[in-house]
Chains A and B, each alone.
Chain A
């Protein structure tokens, strides 16, 4: 056994817990999880059946944690997990799984399959079997500060542009602000409108907020790769910043996995609960809307539909807010089939969009989104995740569908009247 395999096996043995043991013992090979997985439905290839993606971990579980399995191993009746096998499984555990969690909500015996894939990735990563694309993103986040290599000067440049364009200050490192606003690289590089939208919304709501110079990046490739040590380092930057600035709430950007990393995995990675709250921007907007702090003008009149990011809706429980917000600014909002809790993934979540060699498969899987869109034929597609947005833009372009994709936060901000800002004295 190679040293890396040994490490992987050790990590896998650590992550196998009672739920996983119960899940493996319950599977009856009914294959229903395949019908819930877009990588199976769009390719028809049975190797993409979700529970099959866990086969090496299942065998290891059996060999290490069951009396009968240990007996079989002792007399040489069981097949050991090998390097070659794990290498072969990379495509199944990463490229063809976006951690969307649809399989986990259909399994009739109740197996939380995505919970197991997340844990299996720990072993895959430890044994050196994570794809280079996500590994690179994770390493850049650790060394440079962001998966796309964005550094603080780039953020500051964006801040200046937004301040000029919107006439509103973008606060940084303000102690005692109510909200610490996190960004994703994608928003810094491709969608600067997001930052402007936040400024407008916070200004109208009369809330104090700040960015942080030591923690502006919320995405967590460490979690996607399945390396809890890296994930912890990335999360701890944000936790340190939130505690240093004494904010009440940290706002996850329009990014599904950033939300999961901060909201649900963060405290567990750190091994302690937080003194501040973590909310997705859509949850915050929902609260503002309920409290009457969000006052919009006018309506979009073209046909709009909403793509639910998996980590926000099915994995994060935020489903109603985005619909209330859509209806607040739209007269013609239509739902795709399966929208909301059962929505289909864009095909690039869970780090999959960072895997170059997975592109062909990703575009194949996008046919599911295409068929959903073909049913409602919208004029524009709204979402609340920068990664979904990029992945869908690529898919739409590939299938030559002329459909603009917009972020919900900026669409809401578009309907907030521009503030009348007093010019600084002396000008």
Chain B
């Protein structure tokens, strides 16, 4: 397969396949998780302002008292790479063009230098949290194959995308094809790995906030 054929495949069949698996996977996972339901809480509720599921969905984005100091790399690295990914994925002009072709609508992006800067920051943050995972006893202890695998799945699209834009190492076409391929791998595995927290994080925070909010505790 030549590099042009490769690019054509990842842009056509590959992309369709990946998006299909992604959408189906997300649907199945959401159903298999949330259809389990939960029992009604019969205890007399105590109502307190700020103690609810919705409050926790937002509030949990901020570290609990004293936690930032104990784990600065986890928090700062986490913020930087999550926000960085958001900027790179959704505010890079060529990506917006891609979404426009797919969805039929678009939105304004950021200048490419800003996106480039965000990409570099994201790469650095991801490397930092990888080092943290290797060097911190708790993280190393908790880590399984999936943790290293999903880190790689997240890192490669950013790296290949940035390298394609910078015309590094490989011809642009090949690097672009690799970039799209790595994004497709990410999409395929996302619903079935811990990366699915991208969806369940809202449900989890909501349940936690609701269960404790019933007791009048703002968590």
Q: Which A residues have a C-beta under 8 Å from some C-beta of B?
A: 16-23, 25-32, 34-36, 40, 44, 46-47, 49, 51-52, 65-68, 104-112, 115, 263-268, 270-274, 277-278, 314-317, 338, 341-342
Q: Are B205 and A109 in contact (CB under 8 A)?
A: yes
Q: Are B200 and A52 in contact (CB under 8 A)?
A: no
User: Given that A22-B203, A67-B28, A317-B46 are contacting pairs, would A16 and B36 also be in contact in the complex, using a CB cutoff of 8 Å?
Assistant: yes
CA distance A35 to B142 in the complex (A): 14
Within 8 A of A (CB), among B35-74: 35-39, 41-44, 46, 48, 51, 56-57, 60-61, 63-67, 70-71, 74
Q: Are B211 and A25 in contact (CB under 8 A)?
A: no
- Interface check B209, CB cutoff 8 A: yes
| B137 surroundings in chain A (CB, below 8 A) | 44, 46
CB distance from B78 to the nearest CB of A (A): 7
CA distance A338 to B36 in the complex (A): 37
Q: Are A27 and B42 in contact (CB under 8 A)?
A: no
Pick from A21, A46, A274: contact of B36, CB under 8 Å: A21
Within 8 A of A (CB), among B133-148: 136-144, 147
Pick from A26, A66, A111, A316: contact of B32, CB under 8 Å: A66
CB distance from A118 to the nearest CB of B (A): 11
Pick from A51, A105, A115: contact of B211, CB under 8 Å: A115
Q: Are A272 and B204 in contact (CB under 8 A)?
A: no
A-B pairs with beta carbons under 8 A, tally: 172
Residue among A52, A105, A338 with most chain B CB within 10 A? A105
Q: Are B39 and A17 in contact (CB under 8 A)?
A: yes
Majority-rule SS of A interface residues: helix
Q: Are B32 and A109 in contact (CB under 8 A)?
A: no
CB nearest neighbor in A for B197: A26
CB nearest neighbor in B for A105: B219
Q: Are B42 and A315 in contact (CB under 8 A)?
A: no
CB nearest neighbor in A for B198: A26
Majority-rule SS of B interface residues: helix
User: Given that A18-B34, A49-B138, A52-B142 are contacting pairs, would A264 and B43 also be in contact in the complex, using a CB cutoff of 8 Å?
Assistant: yes
Q: Are A108 and B36 in contact (CB under 8 A)?
A: no
User: Given that A22-B200, A27-B194, A110-B208 are contacting pairs, would A273 and B42 also be in contact in the complex, using a CB cutoff of 8 Å?
Assistant: yes
CB nearest neighbor in B for A337: B66
Residue among A21, A34, A107 with most chain B CB within 10 A? A21
Q: Are A32 and B201 in contact (CB under 8 A)?
A: no
CB nearest neighbor in A for B77: A30
CA distance A36 to B67 in the complex (A): 8
| B207 surroundings in chain A (CB, below 8 A) | 18-19, 22-23, 110, 112
User: Given that A22-B33, A110-B209, A342-B66 are contacting pairs, would A29 and B142 also be in contact in the complex, using a CB cutoff of 8 Å?
Assistant: yes
User: Given that A23-B204, A264-B215 are contacting pairs, would A29 and B143 also be in contact in the complex, using a CB cutoff of 8 Å?
Assistant: yes
Q: Are A25 and B200 in contact (CB under 8 A)?
A: yes
User: Given that A273-B42, A316-B215 are contacting pairs, would A22 and B204 also be in contact in the complex, using a CB cutoff of 8 Å?
Assistant: yes
Q: Which B residues have a C-beta under 8 Å from some C-beta of A?
A: 28-29, 32-39, 41-44, 46, 48, 51, 56-57, 60-61, 63-67, 70-71, 74, 78, 136-144, 147, 192, 194, 196-197, 200-201, 203-209, 211-212, 215-217, 219
User: Given that A17-B36, A25-B33 are contacting pairs, would A31 and B139 also be in contact in the complex, using a CB cutoff of 8 Å?
Assistant: yes
Q: Are A112 and B208 in contact (CB under 8 A)?
A: yes
| B136 surroundings in chain A (CB, below 8 A) | 31
CA distance A104 to B29 in the complex (A): 23
Can you show 22 pairs from A to B with CB atoms below 8 A apart? A17-B37, A18-B37, A19-B38, A22-B203, A23-B204, A25-B197, A26-B201, A26-B204, A27-B197, A28-B197, A30-B74, A31-B136, A31-B138, A31-B139, A47-B141, A106-B67, A109-B60, A110-B207, A268-B41, A268-B42, A273-B44, A338-B65
CB nearest neighbor in B for A269: B42
Which 9 pairs, one residue from A and one from B, show the smallest C-beta to C-beta distance? A110-B205, A46-B141, A31-B138, A267-B42, A317-B216, A19-B207, A110-B204, A112-B208, A18-B36
| B217 surroundings in chain A (CB, below 8 A) | 314-317
CB distance from A20 to the nearest CB of B (A): 8
CA distance A35 to B217 in the complex (A): 21
Q: Are B66 and A51 in contact (CB under 8 A)?
A: no
User: Given that A32-B71, A263-B43 are contacting pairs, would A25 and B36 also be in contact in the complex, using a CB cutoff of 8 Å?
Assistant: no
CB nearest neighbor in B for A109: B201
Pick from A29, A52, A67, A112: contact of B212, CB under 8 Å: A112
| A17 surroundings in chain B (CB, below 8 A) | 36-39
User: Given that A29-B139, A32-B71, A317-B48 are contacting pairs, would A342 and B43 also be in contact in the complex, using a CB cutoff of 8 Å?
Assistant: no
User: Given that A317-B48, A342-B64 are contacting pairs, would A25 and B29 also be in contact in the complex, using a CB cutoff of 8 Å?
Assistant: yes
CB distance from A133 to the nearest CB of B (A): 28
| B48 surroundings in chain A (CB, below 8 A) | 317
CB distance from A17 to the nearest CB of B (A): 4
| A265 surroundings in chain B (CB, below 8 A) | 43
CB nearest neighbor in A for B57: A110
Q: Are A29 and B147 in contact (CB under 8 A)?
A: yes
| B209 surroundings in chain A (CB, below 8 A) | 110
Known: A22-B203, A267-B44. 18 other contacts (CB 8 A): A18-B35, A19-B211, A25-B204, A29-B144, A31-B74, A32-B74, A35-B71, A47-B141, A51-B142, A66-B32, A106-B67, A110-B57, A110-B60, A110-B204, A110-B208, A273-B43, A314-B217, A342-B66
CB distance from B137 to the nearest CB of A (A): 5
CA distance A25 to B26 in the complex (A): 12
Residue among A31, A44, A49, A65 with most chain B CB within 10 A? A31
User: Given that A35-B70, A109-B204, A264-B215 are contacting pairs, would A30 and B44 also be in contact in the complex, using a CB cutoff of 8 Å?
Assistant: no
